[in-house]
């Protein structure tokens, strides 16, 4: 969206003590500075997530300290750790139970792709097979600074989301789904092994 | 003309109504013009630990559990009452002594009953 007011004029007004904003900016400013994560950890990344929330790294500086034990009150799901195939349906269901707008940070190698367990039989090869991921953090496990960086990236993303026009923010689109199909346990693997509407395996060009 | 002495009550009611209704109205307007509601089966489900809920919430415990209640009274509740009884034993008036004795006898009856039922047998 083109800025409604000239940036120079705006900063000039600000110097005079007049603060000009738009509804979209106000809305996004409020949202990005109060992101409540869902309180759950899956593996060793969760320890780093706890360290991030604790006093030394202090996620509270970014408005994300209120870890909610209920998905009904959470805005952000930090998938912190190895997602086993046994756990995957529960995670998707938790994601479905979160109210819009909701965001997902895929933390660490395991949550991104299965990590060191990618060749194993029991680990999901990336949570983005079932739910849409907003920010990926590499690392095994990522340091708390990396999680803070992901948090800031998410804030940047939220800040850029638009209330009107196209493309709008996902949660404002009536056609954008809020719930995704929960996989079921099949004979050998989760059924379906990936959500075809979400997940497109990378094409290999030789 | 002086305002009615009870006029402040009307103001009070107005504020009391506006205060809760305004956020609700704003939320409704937001829903109407910006954010379409997206309910779904998982979102409207009762349980929220990621696991699907099974069975009914209104379950009844079987009457056979009365034996556990008796054992609990004898070995937990009674011991709590026995400690202050033992501490204050020398200074107790006769009436209090009889009262605690009746209490003990009642529980002793329960102990005999539980013993007779075979509750205290150690299962190998």
pLDDT score at A1:
47
- Cβ–Cβ gap A179/B43 under 8 Å: yes
Residue B20 has pLDDT above 90, yes or no: yes
Residue of chain B with shortest Cα separation from A89: B50
A97/B42 CB distance under 8 A: yes
pLDDT at A3: 54
Using DSSP, state whether A68 is helix, strand or coil: strand
pLDDT: which is higher, A53 or B48: A53
Q: What is the 3-state secondary structure (H, E, C) of chain B?
A: CCCCCCHHHHHHHHHHHHHHHHHHHHHHHHHHHCCCCCCCCCCCCCCCCCCCCCCCCCCCCCHHHHHHHHHHHHHHHHHHHHHHHHHCHHHCCHHHHHHHHHHHHHHHHHHHHHHHHCCCCCCC
For the segment B19-32, the average pLDDT, to the nearest whole number, is 93
Calpha distance A96→B28 (Å, rounded): 22
What is the per-residue burial (b if ≥16 Cβ within 10 Å, else e) of B63-80? eeeeeeebeeebeeebee
Which spans in chain A are helix H?
7-15, 23-32, 44-53, 88-97, 108-113, 144-159
Shortest distance, CA A22 to any CA of chain B (angstroms): 15
- Nearest residue in B to A165, CA atom: B34
* Closest chain A C-alpha to B54 CA, distance in angstroms: 15
Closest approach of B51 to chain A, Cα-based (Å)? 6
Cα separation, A40 vs A98, whole angstroms: 13
Residues of A in contact with B35 (CB under 8 A): 100, 171-172
- Mean pLDDT throughout B40-65? 84
Closest in B42, B49, B52 to A179, CB measured? B42
Q: For A172-184, write each residue's pLDDT tens digit.
A: 888 888 999 999 9
Size of interface A-B (CB pairs under 8 A): 44
- pLDDT one-digit tens code per residue, A85-109: 999 999 999 999 999 899 999 999 9
B43 vs A89, A173, A178: nearest CB = A178
Q: What would the mean pLDDT of A173-197 be, rounded to a whole number? A: 89
- The pLDDT mean for chain B works out to 88
Nearest-by-Cβ selection for B50 from A94, A100, A172 = A94
- The predicted pLDDT at position A58 comes to 92
pLDDT of A102: 93
Least confident span in A54-63, A125-134, B61-70: B61-70
Q: Chain B residues with CB inside 8 Å of A97's CB?
A: 42-43, 45, 48, 50
User: How sure is the predictor about A10, in pLDDT bands with cuts at 50, 70 and 90?
Assistant: confident
Which residues of B have a CB under 8 Å from any CB of A? 34-36, 38, 40-43, 45, 48-52
- Cα separations in angstroms, A135 against A45, A147, A202, B115: 15, 10, 18, 64
Residue with tokens 């950890």: A41
| pLDDT tens column, A115-149 | 999 998 999 999 999 999 999 999 999 999 999 99
Mean pLDDT score of chain A, rounded to an integer?
Answer: 90
Question: Are A97 and B52 within 8 A, CB to CB?
Answer: no
């Amino acid at each position: 969206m083109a800025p409604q007011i000239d940036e120079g004029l705006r900063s000039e007004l600000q110097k005079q003590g007049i603060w000009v904003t738009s509804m979209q900016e106000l809305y996004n400013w409020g949202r990005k500075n109060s992101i409540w994560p869902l309180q759950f950890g899956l593996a060793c990344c969760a320890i780093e997530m706890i360290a991030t929330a604790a006093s030394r790294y202090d996620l509270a500086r970014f408005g994300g300290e209120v870890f909610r034990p209920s998905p009904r009150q959470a805005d952000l799901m930090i998938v912190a750790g190895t997602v086993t195939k046994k756990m995957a349906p529960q995670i998707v269901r938790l994601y479905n139970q979160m109210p819009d707008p909701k965001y997902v940070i895929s933390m660490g190698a395991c949550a991104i792709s299965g990590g060191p367990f990618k060749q194993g039989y029991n680990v999901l090869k990336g949570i983005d097979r079932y739910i849409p991921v907003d920010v990926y953090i590499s690392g095994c496990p990522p340091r708390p600074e990396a999680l803070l960086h992901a948090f800031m990236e998410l804030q940047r993303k939220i800040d850029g989301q638009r209330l009107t026009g196209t493309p709008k923010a996902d949660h404002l689109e009536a056609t954008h789904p809020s719930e995704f199909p929960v996989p079921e346990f099949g004979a050998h693997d989760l059924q379906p092994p990936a959500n075809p509407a979400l997940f497109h395996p990378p094409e290999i060009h030789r | 003309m002086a305002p009615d002495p009870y006029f402040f009550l009307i103001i009070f009611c107005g504020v009391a109504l506006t205060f809760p209704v305004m956020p609700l109205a704003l939320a409704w307007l937001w829903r109407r013009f910006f954010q379409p509601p997206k309910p779904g089966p998982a979102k409207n489900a009762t349980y929220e630990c990621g696991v699907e809920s099974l069975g009914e919430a209104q379950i009844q415990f079987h009457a056979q559990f009365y034996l556990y209640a008796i054992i609990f009274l004898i070995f937990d509740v009674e011991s709590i009452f026995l400690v202050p009884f033992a501490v204050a034993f020398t200074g107790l008036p006769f009436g209090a002594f009889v009262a605690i004795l009746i209490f003990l006898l009642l529980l002793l009856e329960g102990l005999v009953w539980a013993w007779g039922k075979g509750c205290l047998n150690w299962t190998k």
